[in-house]
Structure 1
Amino acid sequence: MAFAGPAYADDAEEELFTFKDPRISESSGLAVSPTHPGIYYTHNDSAAAPEFYAVDSSGRTKAAFHVNGAQARDWEAMAATRDPETGRGVLWFADIGDNLDGAWPDISVYKVMEPSRMTSGNVSAVRYRFRYEDGARNAEGIMVHPGTGRLYVVSKEFSGVVYQAPKRLRTGRINVLRKVGSAPIMATDAAYAPDGSSYVVRTYFSATLFRPDGEMITKVSMPNLEQAESVTYTPDGKALLVGSEGVRSPVMRVPIPERALPSPSPTPKAEPARNVAASETAAGSSGLTGRDIVIWLGAALLAVGVITVIARRTR
């Protein structure tokens, strides 16, 4: 059953911490450590080095890591999972931003084994290259199913799309991302719940919870932040953590409404077969209210006006 309007959490949102490190100036991705309690990971946006930071629950940096051999054209998102065979944490960093919608012939996602100690240094990565089956596009969200390890990319467009990576990723060739559903308009991040029973897609205005088959569960109102960027689940799956860009930017905890919480499950649920038609029907509502659409139209008109003025002055 889908709910039409935004849901308001049973408990009030709260600030979990602010990033204390001035090097974290454009926090774009956010993830909770799978193996180190009380540790959170983030990385900066475009024009930054291929680095990520581990911070504690007070927002203080415990360690900074440089990813050897990686590029950082436009890192926009990250995810964290646990290897089912070894139990080790796995971090995924998505170099998927493309503001020109076609500037890059392919995009990359880097797989990094989570450091065993919170000591700054260099880490190695496996690079996977991707292209979309229907042409290049901009994206700012990735999510990885905790049970199957399947990777998904969520595009940032007025007609957003959820793309599924191949079950087996290969390093020797480009992997093709195939459309499996629709996403809310202008998605800035996405994440799977720890038990795999739902996923969330965040936009500038709200967050929308979906079942794995793409059926919308509910929308959750978001805090008023400087620039909505990142989202992930708390380890217990009962709340969302959301972040923003900017120096000393906050990470907010937003409880998920009681009626939208999954039934207790000891292990991640298996990923069901995807149904594109069902996904498009459920997610095609774009996750926006009428007010959101009015704001977007106003912003679009303002942008067109500014561009027109600049063009006339430079002729």
Structure 2
Amino acid sequence: MFRRTSLALALSAAGLLALTASAVAADDYAGPAVTVGNLWDGLKPDGTRNTVIPQDVLYQPSGLGASRINPKLQYVHSEKDRKTMLAFSTVTAQVVGKYTVAIPNVFDWEDIATGPCPAGSCIFAGDIGTARDIPKPNGISSVVRVPEPDLSDGQTSGTLTGDYFPYTMPGGPKNAEALMVHPGTGDIYVITKSTKGISDVYKFPNPLPKPGTSSVLTKVATLTLPLKEGDLPYGEVTAASIHPHANRFLVRTYRKVYEYRGPEGAPFASALTGTRVELTDTVEGQGESIEYAPDASAYFTLSEKLAAPYTLKRVDLN
């Protein structure tokens, strides 16, 4: 397991809660999508960027998580039963870290998020999918929590290990592709995926049980998303992210981006029943990942594809 860093320790609970309580001025992400570039790893012999990332390194990228200890860096993971994750620059799209995540019994790894944890700052990986309601072979859904690597300390590769939190949902397993973590409280949320445009939001208990002990999640909200006639994927939730000020959150579908907003200065629970605003889509064939910048100046998306190049896009705050 990576050790916690002094920078991670500086992210105290008091400081995070103060950020959560900050009032957020009226704002919007309505500008055009900007292409940051294709993810690249080193240079080819002719000096150009190598965007051919092998499938055993990144396959069907399906979730983004913004680092809380490495400036201007995000994580992206492979989907399904591959346990690979990359760290990359949100400025240049360069890959700067390559990892394996020790996820027990992984079947359908669908999303990641970052947030506070006993180690300071952690990456939360969600084995939350059921492949369109096909039961998992082992019947277990879970979230794995691993300490963030500190790239400034040379932690640019290796295996990330941590704590394993299996869970069940009332009424039995449900397909999900969206995972969110509250930046102040560490609350973990899972949002189900439905072809009918109606998705339920479930929450882990806080504090979490002893690692390895199964939790029963609590339903805390239902989201209704518009469907375009003849194009059901418009309403299927594929990713989500909580705003750094925690009074709103993003929801990604295959071809739309929405933000649910609570009143200024209100707790996060108000956003779950707040106003839904359609934001700029980044026009991807299969949008499955989304994440705010840590300073809330933008949000980023990366389309799921079977093979590279993988294109990072950004929508700036107006």
Q: TM-score range by the shorter chain?
A: 0.7 to 0.9
Q: CA deviation at 1:172?
A: 4.3
Aligned length: 248
TM-score normalised by the chain length of structure 2? 0.73
- The answer to whether residue 237 in structure 2 is matched with residue 187 in structure 1 is yes
Q: Which moved more, 1:37-46 or 1:215-224?
A: 215-224
State the match for 2:76 in structure 1: 42
- The answer to whether residue 295 in structure 2 is matched with residue 236 in structure 1 is yes
Q: CA deviation at 1:142?
A: 0.5
Structure 1 residues 123 and 172: alpha-carbon distance in aligned structure 2, compared to 1, 3 A threshold: closer
Give the residue type in structure 2 aligned to 1:96: I
Q: Could you say what secondary structure the match of 2:278 adopts?
A: strand
- The answer to whether residue 128 in structure 2 is matched with residue 99 in structure 1 is no
C-alpha contact 1:29 1:76 (8 A) present in aligned 2: yes
State the match for 1:277 in structure 2: none
State the match for 1:267 in structure 2: none
Give the residue type in structure 2 aligned to 1:54: A
Give the residue type in structure 1 aligned to 2:87: A
Mark the runs of 5 or more structure 1 residues left unpaired by the alignment. Answer: 1-6, 259-315
State the match for 1:251 in structure 2: 312
Structure 1 residues 131 and 122: alpha-carbon distance in aligned structure 2, compared to 1, 3 A threshold: same
Q: Which moved more, 1:175-184 or 1:17-26?
A: 17-26
C-alpha contact 1:78 1:94 (8 A) present in aligned 2: yes
- The answer to whether residue 198 in structure 2 is matched with residue 148 in structure 1 is no
C-alpha contact 2:254 2:285 (8 A) present in aligned 1: no
Q: CA deviation at 1:68?
A: 3.2
- The answer to whether residue 85 in structure 2 is matched with residue 52 in structure 1 is yes
Mark the runs of 5 or more structure 2 residues left unpaired by the alignment. Answer: 1-26, 41-52, 226-234, 263-267
Give the residue type in structure 2 aligned to 1:250: T
State the match for 1:268 in structure 2: none
Aligned counterparts of 1:137 and 1:10: Cα–Cα separation in 2: 33
Aligned counterparts of 1:75 and 1:122: Cα–Cα separation in 2: 16
Q: Which residue among 197, 203, 214 is the counterpart of 1:174?
A: 214
Aligned counterparts of 1:130 and 1:153: Cα–Cα separation in 2: 11
Q: Which residue among 48, 55, 61 is the counterpart of 2:95?
A: 61
Write the mapping of 1:1-315 to structure 2, written as runs, cut at 5 A: 9-20=29-40, 21-22=53-54, 23-48=57-82, 50-56=83-89, 57-68=91-102, 70-83=104-117, 88-101=120-133, 103-104=135-136, 105-117=139-151, 118-157=155-194, 158=196, 159-170=198-209, 171-183=211-223, 184=225, 185-210=235-260, 211=262, 212=268, 213=270, 214=272, 215-246=274-305, 247-256=308-317, 258=318
Structure 1 residues 69 and 80: alpha-carbon distance in aligned structure 2, compared to 1, 3 A threshold: closer
C-alpha contact 2:30 2:279 (8 A) present in aligned 1: no
Aligned counterparts of 1:166 and 1:237: Cα–Cα separation in 2: 27
Aligned counterparts of 2:37 and 2:103: Cα–Cα separation in 1: 31
Q: CA deviation at 1:239?
A: 2.0
Aligned counterparts of 1:161 and 1:236: Cα–Cα separation in 2: 28
Q: CA deviation at 1:198?
A: 0.8
